[in-house]
Amino acid sequence: MIRPRITGTGSAVPEKVLTNFDLEKMVDTTDEWIVTRTGIRERRIASEGEYTSTFATAAAERALAAAGVKAEEIDLIVVGTLTPDFPFPATACIVQQALKATNAFCFDLSAACSGFIYALSTAQKFIVSGQVKKALVIGAEVLSRIVDWNDRNTCLLFGDGAGAVVLEAQEGENGILSTHMHSDGNYWEILYQKGAGSRNPASHKNVDEGLVYLTMQGNEVFKLAVRAMGEVAMEALEANGLTPDDVKLFIPHQANQRIVDSVGKRLGITGERVFVNLDRYGNTSAASIPIALDEAVRAGRLKEGDLLLLDAFGGGLTWGSALVRW
């Protein structure tokens, strides 16, 4: 059986660190309050001259190096992001130019924090169909550019960065076993960016009114995320005749420690089997799972044959999971 197998991972984050103590000087909050409610201690913030494509390219280069694959061997580049460099062209095309991946076709995919899972599933389908042999899947964000730094309800949560994986068509039982995706547009208004689209195009008025910033109903997102992530994780396991006990490593979307803990408790996956790095990066949306995956791989947390469960939830609403035999 031909399966897409992850043969290389990479990540890249800005050098600039914004700690909770820095935020204490900007908004009415404290380090203790942030840590207690989110688990976040610091996040990385892009500097002037750094963009989504900057980190996407760097992460991709590291993933290619880890896989031993040349850029010109890549058939597909797909970038999951809600903060592209431009409305168009796709950030994936800018990454293609930077990598000199001349033989790839490229596009972006918008599914908010589920963007990497959606992109991974899309690339999986291209590989299984036989159209693609090698793909580069990237999750990349510069959320600091759409956060209102006067809004303590949101500015505490988000950070910037990118993660990438190389997928290769290989025979055998290892690789992506299945992916599962869902959406519910009835809840789009609880997590979205109001301005800069066709409904509220760029204007001085929209900037002055703060429509260019993301908005979120945190309590509603929390409740829906815990339920949806738990259900879609079980969907992946049941589809493959497996149980939570079979999972070696669980990498959920790194949004909030309470969400991670609640989902893990529902599944019965806790402790060392759950990989968490949100304390250092905050919520990096589509970049969070691939950044965490790269760190887990480089820390030796996965060996051949291990079962890896990925699980995400984001605006849209969107949610999805992927089950991988390493």
**Residues designated as active site:** 113, 253, 283
Instruction: Calculate the alpha carbon distances from 70 to 2, 60, 67, 96, 291 in Å.
Output: 21, 11, 9, 12, 21
CB 227: neighbour CB atoms within 10 A? Answer: 15
Sign of torsion, CA 25 31 35 40? positive
The first and second tokens of residue 111, run together, are 């599914």
Residue 3 in contact with residue 60, Cβ under 8 Å?
Answer: no
Residue 326 in contact with residue 247, Cβ under 8 Å?
Answer: no
Instruction: Calculate the alpha carbon distances from 213 to 168, 191, 193, 200 in Å.
Output: 38, 11, 6, 12
Per-residue DSSP letter, 303: -
Per-residue DSSP letter, 287: G
